[in-house]
Chain A
Amino acid sequence: MSQLNRGMGLVALVIVLSAGAAQSEQSTLKSAKGTTRPTKANPDALVLQDFKHRVEQYVELHKKAAKKSPPLKETTDTAKIKAAQQVLADTIQSARTGARRGDIFTPAVSRKFKQLMYTELKGPDARETKKVIKEDAPSPAVVPLKVNTHYPEAAPLSTVPPNLLERLPQLPPQVDYRIVGKALLLRDVDANLIVDYIPNAIQ
């Protein structure tokens, strides 16, 4: 298992334990009248917290890889930009050799994301949202969906409708959301790698 996956496992364990602790603590709360009232932890918040931690773990890995790569800075020499991107991508790929779909978009996170996007994909803006996605998003035939592989450089990058971005958790600058067919991708911006994806997220 890669370092990242081990880290994520620990994070998940901590979250599960924290959730249990939180539930236990909350279950002893008493109302003003002194009677015990049933309470529950917010499972949605825990899922999103889990996602945030997993993204942070990935970004840490990205930062470490960036330190080992030539700096990405302004230059007239595009070969230098490409070379820096390639070293960064190679370093990240090596560090994530065991990466699998679901490492970041866990089943619980995937369910939550679909829920978050539901209003925009089924509500009053659904038609316009899907129109924007359909116009720009490449198909999986153009961008094969495989974790820890390059997003093809000649393929267009989908526009992500702003109303969807408004619903989804904000991301650090190292990664962004993109859409390929019906899948929602987490993409490493500078390494141009598919970090993870949720199949059939856009329905």
Chain B
Amino acid sequence: MQRLLVSIFVLALTITPFAEGITLKLPMKEGSLRFAIIGDTGTGDSHQRDVARQLIASRAQFPFQFVLMMGDNMYGADNPSDFVKKFEEPYKPLLDAGVKFYAALGNHDDPSQRFYKPFNMNGEKYYTFKPKAGVRIFALDSNYMDQKQLDWLEKELTASGSDWKICFFHHPPYSSGETHGSNDLLREQLEPRFVKHGVNVVFTGHEHFYERIKPQKGVAYFIAGSSAKLRRGNINESDLKEKGFDQGYTFMLIEIAGDELYFQTISDKATTIDSGIVHRATTPDGKPAVTATPAARK
């Protein structure tokens, strides 16, 4: 069987100075898909606003089209004023610029958030969308992974053909976190489906730090749950960890061009924490392979 090669390596790309001191490490290829990742955001506090400021500043150099939210979009109360304080105000310049947000539900989120139009969930707890030809994104509800959702995922993955397949949800199947760690039970349900259908990349939150997991069975896993909350010093040493950062608040920028997904993780202090490429190999006839063997290199 053809094997998909997923390689992640550190970039040495053109360095472009950012607003507020961020240095862009993404290639900005013509026609590429650009988006951002934030997770565990809904505090409404200064940390959320600090990260939001850097996210907004980054868009001046890296005009991303949308933002994926990893869940815990609304901590505590979720009254109308909370939606303003914990979402609309911090990201106002992005919302005003027409940037779309796509939310997944976390364990602190009332499922009624699916009716909040700016979260673009179409009234569903799990959903899929295709932001660009060749890329398919799946938002899952990891709080409640019942058979109905699994059947839906199976059907949608099957239908997605040769697209890039990117899943995002709240709970990480792999994690080096002291507080939560890997969610083995969720992984048992999802991983066989990811491998079977060639899911390339998975983004999650829940753990309040950033972690890039060593590719597992050909799937690249990222945890991005520190866009407003932080568990300092919470990452354990583990065989899973490729890169971890638990000393500050972060967000991610993503660019997909052809068979490459470029990523850059940036802190609230405008420091680049991590960057690299997830490479998706193709078969000789130019179609993406279905399964994967990771080959990480520096």
A159, closest chain B residue (CB): B143
Produce 1/0 per residue, A119-139, CB < 8 A to B: 000000100110010011000
- Cα-based distance from A72 to B112 in the complex (angstroms): 9
A165 to B185, CA, bound (A): 11
Q: A158-B143, A165-B146 are in contact. List 4 more A-B contacts (CB 8 A).
A: A72-B112, A75-B117, A78-B83, A153-B79
Taking CB atoms and an 8 Å cut-off, the chain B residues in 244-275 that contact chain A are none
Interface code A163-198, partner B: CB below 8 Å = 1, 0 otherwise? 101100011000010000000000001101000000
| B123 pairs with A73, CB closer than 8 A | yes
Question: Are the C-beta atoms of B116 and A78 separated by less than 8 Å?
Answer: yes
Distance in angstroms between the alpha carbons of A170 and B171 in the assembled complex: 22
> Could you mark each residue 166-199 of chain B with 1 if its beta carbon is under 8 Å from any beta carbon of chain A, else 0?
0000010000000110011110110000000000
Is A79 close to B, CB under 8 A?
Answer: yes
A159 touches B142 (CB 8 A): yes
Q: Is the CB of A170 within 8 A of B147?
A: yes
A161 in the interface, Cβ–Cβ < 8 Å?
yes
Task: Compute how far the CA of A76 lies from the CA of B113 in the bound complex, rounded to whole angstroms.
Answer: 11
B107 touches A81 (CB 8 A): no
The answer to whether B123 and A170 touch across the interface, beta carbons within 8 angstroms, is no
Our pick among B118, B122, B147, B180 for the contact of A165 (Cβ within 8 Å) is B147
Residue from B77, B80, B112, B145 with most neighbouring chain A CB atoms (10 Å): B112
Distance in angstroms between the alpha carbons of A10 and B122 in the assembled complex: 39
- Complex Cα distance, B144 from A1, in Å, reads 33
A residues contacting B by CB (< 8 A) are: 72-79, 81-82, 85, 125, 128-129, 132, 135-136, 153-154, 156-163, 165-166, 170-171, 176, 189-190, 192
A contact residues around B111 at 8 Å (CB): 157, 189-190
Write 29 A-B pairs (CB below 8 A) sorted by A numbering: A74-B116, A74-B117, A75-B115, A75-B117, A78-B116, A79-B80, A85-B112, A125-B185, A132-B185, A136-B107, A153-B79, A154-B76, A154-B78, A156-B108, A157-B110, A157-B111, A157-B143, A158-B107, A158-B143, A159-B107, A159-B144, A159-B171, A160-B144, A162-B146, A163-B188, A171-B146, A176-B144, A189-B111, A190-B111
Report chain B residues within 8 Å CB of A76. Answer: 116-118
Query: CA separation between A81 and B116, bound complex, in Å?
Result: 8
Separation of A78 and B185 alpha carbons in the complex (Å): 34
Q: Are B80 and A82 in contact (CB under 8 A)?
A: yes
Contacts A74-B117, A76-B116, A76-B118; is A162 near B186 (CB within 8 Å)?
yes
Residues of B101-132 at the interface with A, using a CB-CB cut-off of 8 Å, are 107-112, 115-118, 122-123
Asked if B297 is at the interface (CB within 8 A of a chain A CB), the reply is no
Q: Are A192 and B185 in contact (CB under 8 A)?
A: no
- Please give, as numbers and ranges, the residues of chain A lying within 8 Å of B109 by CB-CB distance: 157
Which among A85, A132, A154, A162 has the greatest number of chain B C-beta atoms within 10 A? A162
Q: Which of A82, A154, A158, A190 has the most CB of B within 10 A?
A: A154
* Complex Cα spacing A160 to B125, Å: 15
A78 touches B107 (CB 8 A): no
Please tell me if the beta carbons of B110 and A163 are within 8 angstroms of each other in the complex.
no
Distance of A195 from chain B, by nearest CB (Å):
15
**A113–B113 Cα gap in the complex (Å)?**
30
Whether the Cβ atoms of B147 and A154 lie closer than 8 Å is no
Q: Is B110 touching A153 in the complex (CB atoms < 8 A)?
A: yes
A157 — which chain B residues lie within 8 A by C-beta? Answer: 107-111, 143
B77 to chain A, nearest CB (A): 5
- B146 near A154 with CB under 8 A, answer no
- Verify if B148 is at the interface (C-beta below 8 Å from A): yes
Query: Nearest chain-A residue to B108 (Cβ)?
Result: A156
* Chain B hits for A75, CB < 8 A: 115-117
Give, as a whole number of angstroms, the nearest-CB distance from A129 to chain B: 7
Q: What residues of B have a CB within 8 angstroms of the CB of A170 in the complex?
A: 146-148
Q: How far is the CA of A160 from the CA of B148 in the complex (A)?
A: 14
Within the complex, the shortest CB–CB distance from A116 to chain B, in Å, comes to 14
Q: Is the CB of A128 within 8 A of B115?
A: no
